[in-house]
């Protein structure tokens, strides 16, 4: 979440993109291959979502484009503003987030704990394993089972 906030400078938009990452993981559109640490993988998905958002919202505007102002200055002020989602989009994203959080809350305790600690509270794998007295392998198994249950 902090990474997205730093990159986007818009807390609501950052929250929406983080939610989209979790939704991609939960629905199985993104699959963890085990080639990196789970946080690294999640941040990688988030980076791609941010790039996609920037591309989507940039359209065909160029930073070199000149505005038709009387003084001939470049009109960059409008092209650098990050537009906010429409109210209906924001409401839909909040509903999806609430639905996802409710589904997480209905998971068995052993699965819910790892999802909450590791993904929602962004705790390190080592900290989660130490707190729950489980191995790292068991942590990944539980996260995998949680994703399957949420899909």
Domain ranges of the chain: 1-59+83-106, 108-151
pTM, 2 dp: 0.45
CA distance 33 to 137: 14
CA distance 49 to 97: 16
CA distance 28 to 140: 15
Q: Which helix (H) or strand (E) is 72 found in, with range?
A: none
Given a cut of 70, is residue 61 above it in pLDDT?
no
Tokens read off for 25: 């993981």
Q: Which helix (H) or strand (E) is 84 found in, with range?
A: none
For residue 103, give the DSSP letter: H
Q: Tokens 């989507």 identify what position? A: 56
- CA 54: distance to chain centroid? 14
Query: pLDDT confidence of 139, banded at 50, 70, 90?
Result: very high
* In the chain, % of residues over pLDDT 70: 80
* Structure confidence at residue 13 (pLDDT): 83
């Amino acid at each position: 979440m902090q990474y997205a906030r730093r990159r986007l400078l818009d807390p609501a938009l950052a929250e929406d993109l983080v939610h989209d990452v979790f939704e991609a993981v939960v629905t199985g559109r993104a699959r963890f291959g085990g080639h990196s640490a789970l946080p690294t993988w999640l941040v990688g998905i988030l980076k791609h979502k941010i790039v996609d958002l920037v591309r989507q919202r940039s359209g065909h505007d160029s930073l070199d484009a000149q505005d038709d102002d009387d003084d001939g200055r470049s009109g960059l002020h409008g092209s650098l503003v990050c537009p906010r989602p429409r109210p209906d989009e924001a409401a839909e994203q909040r509903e999806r987030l609430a639905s996802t959080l409710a589904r997480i809350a209905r998971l068995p305790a052993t699965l819910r704990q790892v999802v909450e600690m590791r993904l929602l509270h962004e705790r390190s794998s080592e900290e989660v394993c130490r707190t729950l007295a489980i191995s790292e392998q068991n942590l990944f198994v539980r996260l995998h089972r949680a994703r399957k249950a949420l899909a």
